Amino acid sequence: MRILFIGDVVGDKGVSMIGDFLPKLKQEIKPQVTIVNGENATSMGRGISLSIYKQLMSDGVDVVTLGNHAWSNNEILDFIDDAKRLIRPYNFPKRTTPGKGYTMVNVNGKQLAVLNFQGRVFMDNLDDPFALADELVDEITKTTNCIFMDFHAEATSEKLAIARYLDGRISAVVGTHTHVQTNDARILAGKTAFLTDAGMTGPADGMLGMQPDSVIQRFLDQRPARFKVMETGRGIISGCFIDIDDKTGHATHIETVSMTDDQL
């Protein structure tokens, strides 16, 4: 089983990069499942809309994951419960949060569980992702041993900690949120694939997808600033692909992908 995971899609440029280049990337990599983090996909760079979710699906995405900006576009409250392949972090408060934190995908007769969790270091104090992952993984392994997690977190230590905590119990942990792809793709001792951050998909010449001037000004004067998504220049698509032995659930290979539109 080969999984292609694409990191945080940012703004209109990110959505167009998926539409323009994902089919070409899939033709080369040949994944059975394509997962995309879409929590920054609106034109303002926060949240997702129904039209964007449907566009990503029509462009060949199988599952869309979210993160701390899941609720930044209020429209999501109208459709998340009906969107079968859209998942938000599992560790939002269970009683009051719409949507779901994982989904199952049929891959040639084998079930793949796709999980979405959010970290707590330097982020909102959600429910404990370690304890909840324990419970959820124990339940899911009754059905399948092929389990992929998008762990949306700020701290590199927290991302590695949960990967090592779950090493040997799930197939892969890939981090999102920082928009900067890390150079540490590897398979841990228990055969769980790990990457600290998949990077972002969107404007290549911005600052984490935003227009540089306002971000730099914030550093200079330490005053609040409105960040706007970069709309011009090159685009980039970033992520990784992972091979999983569908009999054992163990990862056998992980490799990063990061290319600008001129390279693609």
Q: What are phi and psi of 26, to 5 degrees?
A: -65, -35
% of residues, the chain, pLDDT over 70 = 100
At 114-141, the pLDDT tens digits run: 999 999 999 999 999 999 999 999 999 9
In this prediction, residue 231 carries a pLDDT of: 84
pLDDT at 226 over 90: no
State the average pLDDT over residues 99-122: 96
3-state helix, strand, coil in the chain (%, to 5): 25, 30, 45
* Band of residue 30 on the pLDDT scale cut at 50, 70, 90: very high
Catalytic status, residue 250: no
At 58-83, the pLDDT tens digits run: 999 999 999 999 999 999 999 999 99
In this prediction, residue 233 carries a pLDDT of: 87
Domains annotated for the chain, with CATH where assigned, are 2-260 (3.60.21.10)
Distance CA 237, CA 235 (A): 7
Residues annotated in the binding site for Fe cation, as ranges? 8, 39-40, 68, 152, 177, 179
Both tokens assigned to 11: 């703004």
Set 7, 52, 67, 69: catalytic member: 69
Average pLDDT, the chain: 95
* Band of residue 227 on the pLDDT scale cut at 50, 70, 90: confident
pLDDT at 186 over 90: yes
Helical (H) or strand (E) element with 117: strand 110-118
In this prediction, residue 264 carries a pLDDT of: 82
Q: For the residues of 48-97, what is the DSSP string, one character each?
A: --HHHHHHHHHTT-SEEE--TTTTSSTTHHHHTTT-TTEE--TTS-TTT-
pTM of the model: 0.94
Tokens 């409250």, located at residue? 77
In this prediction, residue 228 carries a pLDDT of: 87
Residues annotated in the binding site, as ranges? 8, 39-40, 68, 152, 177, 179
Sign of CA dihedral 46, 10, 233, 216: positive
State the average pLDDT over residues 218-244: 90
State the average pLDDT over residues 161-180: 98
Q: Is 17 helix (H, G, I), strand (E, B) or coil?
A: helix
Contact between residue 235 and residue 199 where contact means Cβ atoms under 8 Å apart: no
Contact between residue 64 and residue 87 where contact means Cβ atoms under 8 Å apart: yes
In this prediction, residue 115 carries a pLDDT of: 98
Distance CA 40, CA 25 (A): 21
